[in-house]
């Protein structure tokens, strides 16, 4: 397998420069002749699915790409993979444009669409792998090594003789991910790989993806399941209305939005009045009174107050029996961004 001619000291595997994708959606007309009217009316509504997005991803990085439905996630991935042409801007994968050199870039890409299998529907799984090996020029030795690895990590062996149409969703996703990695591409794009899967199947796939990334594969993952991001990604990019609204590590995301950490303390008896706490930068959360009179929940900003200082301050109010620290869930944080 020939790899992309990367610059020797290149720190960039994937680069998007001022990416724009505009779709023209035909205007709809109501009424019984609506369809006829639409046929003769050239008016189209302009939708900016991706609106001036730029980023660079280093080799070996694991990046989560999140956003609400219709935010432009899939459109971005499709442009990166050479499926769609951007309306403006440029993409370089290992220094090569997937628009101008689609086939060259495709050799070095693994792509998984969660809702769309790339396997041969009516054939046993192993036949798909053999065809893909032929398609990507994977020789016998490397093919067998890859199969052994996929069996150890994904349990592919038990699926090999089963026609794809008879696989469960979780099995199919494992088979699909293995298929995308058969030619050991330096770059992997995953579009919703855990969609519809149960917890066990998700775990299985996540640990495999961690191993793939540890081998040096650059991974870009779009997902609805934010626990994917929390467990896998070092960096997260948040897109909304076609624009990149955040790009950084998870901790930075927490800091930027300043969603407070919550601390719940159970006392041996009802605590003293916490009025003084607000002066110290705490906010008493009312919602948790349900835990009973012996509990108190406060919210605070980790950037300003450390957890141990927080516990110390609450210890002033009574004898502590137990403490629970809740980091803000990524869902909550993102809601503030959208």
Partner 1 sequence: MGGIGQMMALYSRLAKASIRARMQYKANFILTVLMDAALFAMDFLLIAAILYRFDSIGGWSVFEIGLLYGTASMARGVYRTFGYELHRFESYIAEGHFDTLMVRPWPTLLVLLTRNLDPGRLGVAAQGGLVLGISCHALLKAGALSGGAMVYIWTLPLWGAAIFFAISLATSASAFWLTRIADLQVFTMYAPMTAASYPLGIYPASLRALLHTALPVAFAGYVPIRFLLGKGGSAFDLVTPVLVAMAALYVSYWFWRLGESGYQSTGS
Task: Catalog residues that contact partner 1 under the rule CB under 8 A.
Answer: 23, 70, 73-75, 78, 81-85, 102-104, 106-107, 109, 111, 113, 115-116, 118, 120-123, 127, 131, 134-137, 163, 191-192
Could you tell me the smallest distance in angstroms from the CB atom of residue 332 to partner 1? 24
Token match 């944080």: residue? 333
Nearer to partner 1, 131 or 257 (CB): 131
Chain centre to alpha carbon of residue 225: 8
- Alpha-carbon distance of 41 to 21, in angstroms, equals 23
Could you tell me the smallest distance in angstroms from the CB atom of residue 214 to partner 1? 24
Could you tell me the smallest distance in angstroms from the CB atom of residue 222 to partner 1? 8
Q: Where does residue 301 fall: left (phi above 0), alpha (psi -120 to 50 degrees), or beta otherwise?
A: beta
Nearer to partner 1, 68 or 281 (CB): 68
Nearer to partner 1, 13 or 298 (CB): 13
Could you tell me the smallest distance in angstroms from the CB atom of residue 229 to partner 1? 17
Nearer to partner 1, 78 or 149 (CB): 78
Could you tell me the smallest distance in angstroms from the CB atom of residue 178 to partner 1? 16
Could you tell me the smallest distance in angstroms from the CB atom of residue 36 to partner 1? 15
Whose CA is closest to 333, among 67, 56, 50? 67
Could you tell me the smallest distance in angstroms from the CB atom of residue 122 to partner 1? 4
CA-based R_g, the chain, Å: 25
Whose CA is closest to 134, among 114, 120, 149? 120
Nearer to partner 1, 132 or 305 (CB): 132
Could you tell me the smallest distance in angstroms from the CB atom of residue 160 to partner 1? 15
Q: Phi/psi of residue 269, each to 5°? A: -145, 170
Residues 6+ apart with CB under 8 A from 231: 206
- Alpha-carbon distance of 152 to 146, in angstroms, equals 10
Q: Which long-range contacts (CB under 8 A, 24 or more apart) does 41-44 make?
A: none
Instruction: Enumerate the β-bridge partners of residue 244.
Output: 239
Token pair for residue 105?
């870039």
DSSP state of 41: -
Could you tell me the smallest distance in angstroms from the CB atom of residue 203 to partner 1? 24
Nearer to partner 1, 115 or 269 (CB): 115
Instruction: Give one DSSP letter per residue of 145-192, joined into a string.
Output: HHHHHHHHHH-GGGGTTSBGGGS-HHHHHHHHHHHHHTT--SEEEEES
Nearer to partner 1, 50 or 313 (CB): 50
Whose CA is closest to 252, among 264, 236, 270? 236
Nearer to partner 1, 120 or 266 (CB): 120
- Alpha-carbon distance of 170 to 175, in angstroms, equals 9
Nearer to partner 1, 163 or 315 (CB): 163
Whose CA is closest to 273, among 251, 248, 293, 290? 293
């Amino acid at each position: 397998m020939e790899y992309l001619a990367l610059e020797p000291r290149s720190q960039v595997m994937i680069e998007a420069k001022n990416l724009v994708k505009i779709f023209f959606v035909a205007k709809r007309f109501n009424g019984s002749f609506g369809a006829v009217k639409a046929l003769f009316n050239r008016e189209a509504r302009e939708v900016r699915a991706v609106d001036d997005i730029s980023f660079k991803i280093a080799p070996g990085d694991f990046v989560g790409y999140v956003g609400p439905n219709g935010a432009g996630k899939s459109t971005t991935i499709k442009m990166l993979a050479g499926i769609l042409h951007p309306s403006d801007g440029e993409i370089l994968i290992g220094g090569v444009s997937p628009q101008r050199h689609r086939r060259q870039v495709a050799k070095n890409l693994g792509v998984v669409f969660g809702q769309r299998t790339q396997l041969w529907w009516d054939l046993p799984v192993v036949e798909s792998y053999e065809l893909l090996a032929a398609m990507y020029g994977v020789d016998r030795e490397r093919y067998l090594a890859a199969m052994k690895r996929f069996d150890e990590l994904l349990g592919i062996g038990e699926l090999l003789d089963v026609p794809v149409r008879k696989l469960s969703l979780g099995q199919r996703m494992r088979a699909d991910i293995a298929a995308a990695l058969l030619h050991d591409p330096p770059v992997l794009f995953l579009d919703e790989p855990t969609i519809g899967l149960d917890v066990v199947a998700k775990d299985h796939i996540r640990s495999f993806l961690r191993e793939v990334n540890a081998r040096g594969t650059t991974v870009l993952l779009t997902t609805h399941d934010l626990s994917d991001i929390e467990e896998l990604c070092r960096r997260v990019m948040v897109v909304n209305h076609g624009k990149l609204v955040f790009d950084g590590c998870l901790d930075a995301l927490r800091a930027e939005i300043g969603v407070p950490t919550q601390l719940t303390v159970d006392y041996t008896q009802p605590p003293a009045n916490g009025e003084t706490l607000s002066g110290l930068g705490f906010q008493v959360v009312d919602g948790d009174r349900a835990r009973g009179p012996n509990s108190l929940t406060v919210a605070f900003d980790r950037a300003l107050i450390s957890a141990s200082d927080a516990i110390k301050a609450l210890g002033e109010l009574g004898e502590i029996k137990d403490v629970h620290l809740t980091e803000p869930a990524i869902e909550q944080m993102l809601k503030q961004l959208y």
